[in-house]
């Protein structure tokens, strides 16, 4: 794989999750023929313009004029709010309380164009979350339609832990131009009380986390291709972002639409292994995704798979509240269960040493491992993201942290030690609960899923995700409603390793055409033709 052009970059514990972290929604565009998709993609292989004739966007220069600034606003001074005075310890005359999905706004005048630390002193008896939006003008629907939010630049959310005393909480460096801005605070989880807001000048996010994030590779069996890919990812981390796209399984429909409109292929094709399990295979007629992944790798792309796991027994669903599957019966302490072959497991089931649920889970793991073995035998290294997590605990596999970690660690050992899948780089999608984290020995890269319809770089989400492994892992935006603006990622120094918008309605309609509902054609062209992003034709095992 050769680079066809050389460019230089010129350059939350957050319950951001409550508003922007989300898991996949079940959107299936597989009725758009996979045969049609293959033919379209094959035709485009020869018709796509050479990368070096595509005009690229250079990274925008953002002005900074550093100066000292300090401002404090007592919350009760915010217009249209109700003063509360009681026995709590607060500053000023009292505090205000903001109900769920309610917002308050105030004007803030800053003297210089620079980064600012906007912090709040807040409490929540139940634990809450309140978002920060700059320069919103009107109400718009939230991404999930649950509530109305203000438009503007959504920087993230303050996580207010359950407490009866006010605590100071900072979000992240916020870029503000000189002048007056409208600041909006909106609760998106429970009720939050605010005592005061403090604004100070601060520095741009540091480069240190990029250099500190290592290239540790988990598992006992590591092949040279896996090391080469990890080294390449490390070489670009903090400098450039790999373009990526989640596709409807068994198709390249989303990628076809991207190529037609941008002339470029994403660096990473992200699909799902959901249809390769016993329950999942009953839902589709033809499972050809592994073959599509082989072809993708053959043409120079990086292969990535997530695994939204249909319940092994009962109704085929991801969702805990729709499932009768007894997750609590899955775990077993039987010695070396993780590396036992299928015949041995069948004997353990027969004599009731393990439960039917445990056997079904391990059988599904084996079914997926066999498909990943096909890719290994083809020399394909895979960015593997099983068991995505969600802050709301939607999925059956995240009922408890203990069950989640048992599933992940058992799968990791089984794939590594029994099947010898040395071609996998394990990507954990971050949950805000550190009790869910499988452990450093089982994770190579940490991903983050952020769903909102803004251009922000999601720096708050990056900070929150980074805290899980104390800056030991590289960070990727594994799912999003839209890819961040490359200029804003550079401005805020929130350079994700890759950014992968979700499939279906987030990009295309039922005809496979771009909708522009989340990401406009112009935004897509900018993302794919920007010096700070990497497309498929630019992938290499070294930087220049």
Find how far residue 467's CA is from the centre of its chain.
15
| Co-location of 253 and 308 in the same domain | yes
pTM for the model: 0.90
Find how far residue 153's CA is from the centre of its chain.
19
Residues with Cβ within 8 Å of 377's Cβ and at least 6 positions away in sequence, in order, are none
| Co-location of 265 and 126 in the same domain | no
**Among candidate residues 202, 229, 253, the one where a domain is terminated:** 202
Band (55; pLDDT cuts 50, 70, 90): low
Tell me the average pLDDT of the chain: 88
| Co-location of 80 and 45 in the same domain | no
Helix, strand, or coil (residue 67): coil
Average pLDDT over residues 512-537: 94
pLDDT of residue 432: 64
Q: Is the dihedral of CA 261, 262, 263, 268 positive or negative?
A: negative
pLDDT tens digits, 7-43: 222 223 333 333 444 444 444 444 443 334 443 444 3
Q: Edge-to-edge, what's the strand order for the sheet holding 103-110? A: 103-110, 179-189, 128-134, 153-160
Considering the domain boundaries, does residue 347 fall inside one?
Answer: no
Q: What is the 3-state secondary structure (H, E, C) of 336-349?
A: CHHHCCHHHHHHHH
Which residue is listed with tokens 């594994």?
A: 478
Considering the domain boundaries, does residue 1 fall inside one?
Answer: no
Report the b/e string of 401-420 with b at 16+ CB within 10 A.
Answer: bebbbbbbebbbbbbbebbe
**Among candidate residues 181, 202, 223, the one where a domain is terminated:** 202
Q: Which domain holds residue 276?
A: 15-60+207-328+356-538
| Co-location of 41 and 75 in the same domain | no
Considering the domain boundaries, does residue 3 fall inside one?
Answer: no
**Among candidate residues 139, 168, 202, the one where a domain is terminated:** 202
Considering the domain boundaries, does residue 335 fall inside one?
Answer: no
Average pLDDT over residues 479-490: 95
Considering the domain boundaries, does residue 266 fall inside one?
Answer: yes
Residues with Cβ within 8 Å of 35's Cβ and at least 6 positions away in sequence, in order, are none
pLDDT tens digits, 121-167: 999 999 999 999 999 999 888 877 788 888 999 998 999 999 999 99
Pairing of strands 114-123, 167-176: antiparallel
| Co-location of 380 and 492 in the same domain | yes
| Co-location of 56 and 78 in the same domain | no
Average pLDDT over residues 431-460: 87
| Co-location of 504 and 454 in the same domain | yes
Q: How many domains does the chain have?
A: 2
| Co-location of 418 and 395 in the same domain | yes
pLDDT tens digits, 78-105: 999 999 999 999 999 999 999 999 999 9
pLDDT tens digits, 405-422: 999 999 999 999 999 999
Instruction: CATH number of the domain at 154, please.
Output: 2.60.120.260
| Co-location of 448 and 360 in the same domain | yes
Instruction: CATH number of the domain at 533, please.
Output: 3.20.20.80
Average pLDDT over residues 206-213: 91
pLDDT tens digits, 263-301: 999 999 999 999 999 999 999 988 999 999 999 999 999
Q: Which two tokens stand for residue 392?
A: 């709301």
């Amino acid at each position: 794989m050769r680079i066809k052009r050389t460019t230089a970059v010129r350059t939350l514990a957050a319950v951001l999750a409550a508003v922007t972290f989300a898991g996949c929604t079940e959107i299936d565009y597989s009725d758009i023929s996979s045969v049609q998709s293959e033919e379209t993609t094959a035709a485009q292989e020869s018709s796509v313009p050479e990368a070096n004739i595509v005009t690229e966007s250079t990274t925008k220069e953002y002005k900074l004029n550093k100066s000292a600034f300090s401002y404090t606003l007592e919350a009760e001074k915010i217009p249209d709010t109700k003063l509360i005075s009681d026995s709590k310890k607060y500053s000023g005359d009292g505090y205000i309380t903001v109900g769920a999905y309610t917002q308050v706004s105030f004007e803030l005048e800053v003297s210089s164009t620079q980064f600012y630390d906007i912090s709040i002193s807040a409490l929540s008896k139940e634990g809450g979350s309140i978002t920060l939006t700059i320069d919103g003008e009107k109400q718009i629907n939230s991404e999930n339609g649950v509530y109305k939010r203000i438009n503007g630049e959504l920087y993230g959310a303050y996580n207010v832990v359950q407490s009866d005393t006010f605590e100071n909480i900072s979000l992240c460096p916020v870029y503000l131009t000189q002048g007056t801005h409208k600041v909006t605070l909106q609760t998106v989880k429970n009720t939050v009380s605010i005592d005061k807001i403090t604004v100070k000048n601060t520095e741009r996010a540091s480069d240190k986390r990029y250099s500190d994030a290592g290239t540790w590779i988990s598992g006992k069996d590591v092949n040279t291709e896996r090391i080469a890919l990890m080294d390449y990812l490390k070489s670009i981390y903090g400098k450039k972002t790999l373009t990526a796209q989640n596709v409807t399984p068994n198709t390249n429909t989303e990628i076809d639409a991207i190529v037609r409109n941008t002339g470029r292929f994403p660096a990473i094709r992200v699909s799902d292994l959901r249809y390769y399990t016993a329950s999942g295979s009953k839902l589709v007629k033809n499972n050809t995704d592994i073959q599509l992944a082989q072809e993708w790798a053959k043409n120079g792309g990086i292969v990535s798979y997530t695994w939204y796991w249909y319940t092994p027994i009962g109704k085929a669903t991801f969702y805990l509240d729709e499932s009768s599957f007894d997750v609590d019966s899955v775990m077993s302490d039987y010695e070396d269960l993780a590396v036992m072959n299928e015949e041995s497991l069948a004997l353990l089931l027969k004599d009731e040493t393990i439960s039917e649920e445990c056997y079904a889970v391990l059988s599904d793991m084996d079914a997926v491992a066999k498909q990943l073995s096909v890719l290994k035998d083809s020399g394909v290294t895979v960015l593997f993201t099983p068991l995505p997590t969600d802050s709301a605990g939607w999925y059956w596999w995240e009922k408890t942290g203990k069950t989640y970690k048992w599933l992940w660690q058992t799968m990791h050992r089984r794939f590594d030690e029994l099947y010898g899948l040395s071609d996998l780089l394990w990507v954990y999608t971050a949950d805000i609960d550190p009790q869910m984290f499988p452990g450093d020995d089982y994770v190579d890269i940490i991903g983050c899923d952020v769903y909102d319809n803004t251009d922000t770089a999601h720096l708050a989400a990056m900070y929150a995700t980074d805290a899980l492994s104390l800056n030991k892992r590289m960070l990727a935006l594994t799912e999003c409603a839209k890819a961040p603006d490359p200029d804003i990622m550079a401005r805020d120094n929130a350079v994700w390793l890759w950014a992968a918008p979700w499939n279906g309605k987030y990009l295309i309609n039922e005809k496979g055409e771009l909708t522009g509902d989340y990401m406009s054609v112009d935004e897509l062209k900018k993302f794919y033709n920007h010096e700070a992003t990497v497309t498929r034709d630019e992938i290499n095992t070294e930087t220049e």
